[in-house]
Homo-oligomer: A and B are copies of this chain.
Amino acid sequence: METTPSAARRSDLATRVLAGDMRAAARAMRLVDDRSAGHLDLLKELYPHTGRAWIVGITGTPGAGKSTLTDRLVEHERARGRKVGVVAVDPTSPYTGGAILGDRIRMQRHFLDPNVFIRSLATRGHLGGLSRSAGDVIRVLDAYGCDTIFVETVGVGQDELEVTRLAQTTLVVMAPGMGDDIQAIKAGILEVADVFAVNKADREGADATVRDLEQMIALTRETAVAAASASSHSASHAHRVVREKRAEGGPWEPPVVKTIASRNENIGALVSACEAHRAHLDATDEGARKRVARAREELAVVFRDTLLGVAAQRVGAAQEAAVARLLAREADPYSVSEALVASLLAGGPS
């Protein structure tokens, strides 16, 4: 809890953000980014006014041209008069703490557009801090009135997949010819992808990559059918259930769209595929399920971050003091952790 000499001013800040005041939004963003005093009160004030933006996660393999593609998508949304937010998540710099210069340069031509708001985030503090920051910034952009918010992640690790769970629609960008252990990446990514873009589609191997992806999607569909059969006593019944599901809209199957972002080719088709997913969410109970999953994830991320923050304050010093004993093998990390958690839960050192 924060006592606030400047509560009136902050409330004013929230009011101005909600009214779409760009300078206020910029100030709010800085406050949230730096986690300055009062940022929690602001976020609490803004939260009731969130949930309106369409949040599109953009992830995929390195070298696939995600930034250029994001840039094109921003352009496209702007051309339709939409207010756009971009959150560029950069988990590859947990050590430098810096944002990627390249992204900033590429996006620079949107800098003077008051209806495009771009934030780069670097990892902060402990693992998972990234998702917390991304979630906070998304909520400010949402409250500020952005119609579409793109959340672009670099890399395909667990933390990045977690960020995509904050999105309604996840676009996975691949490039042709990324070698064969790309299979491994695909396996993980297939389950988060709502739409695939095979970017740099003028390169050799683009059609093969599209075919690969479509095969994997078909395989997933068959596995789902088989699972449905297995869980039913009658295989024909299961097939009928699957057919019926399809008839009423059916499960979503990620379309694969070839693009060449550098030449602005096929961006419209990609946007249409994303819009189709959005419409699917609205038309089926998948949308409702996804809203529940997102709220659960939002809470999990903030809760974890809050808890680890308090833990660091209260037992961080004791934890650091135990390191020497571990090195001397006079203690083990399991016993030390149990003792630290017990002390924390007993309201220990603060």
> What is A's interface to B at a CB cutoff of 8 Å?
1, 40, 43-44, 47-48, 50-51, 61-67, 90-96, 98, 100, 102-103, 123, 126-128, 130-131, 135, 154-162, 175, 178-185, 187-189, 191-192, 200, 291-292, 295-296, 298-308, 310-311, 319-320, 322-323, 326-327, 329, 332-338, 340-341, 344-347
Contacts and interface: CB of A to CB of B under 8 A. Distances in A.
A131 to B, nearest CB: 8
A94 B295 contact: no
B306 A338 contact: yes
B338 A92 contact: no
Copy number in the complex reads 2
Given A62-B182, A127-B158, A333-B303, A188 B96 contact: yes
Contact of A184 (B102, B158, B298): B102
Given A156-B157, A345-B347, A333 B127 contact: no
A212 to B, nearest CB: 13
A341 B306 contact: yes
A33 B4 CA distance: 48
A303 B343 CA distance: 12
A1 B47 contact: no
A172 to B, nearest CB: 12
B127 A179 contact: no
24 contacts: A43-B332, A43-B334, A47-B333, A90-B184, A92-B184, A92-B185, A92-B189, A94-B158, A95-B191, A95-B192, A100-B184, A102-B181, A103-B184, A126-B300, A127-B131, A154-B181, A155-B157, A158-B160, A295-B327, A302-B333, A303-B340, A303-B341, A307-B308, A307-B341
Chain A interface, DSSP helix/strand/loop, else mixed: helix
Nearest to A350: B345
A178 B62 contact: yes
B92 A337 contact: no
B299 A161 contact: no
Contacts of A96: 187-188, 191
Nearest to A336: B299
Contacts of A333: 47, 135, 298-299, 301-303
Contacts of A131: 127
Given A62-B178, A95-B191, A299-B337, 13 more contacts: A40-B334, A47-B334, A50-B329, A62-B62, A67-B181, A92-B156, A100-B184, A127-B127, A155-B185, A156-B156, A156-B157, A157-B160, A296-B323
A303 B319 contact: yes
B326 A298 contact: yes
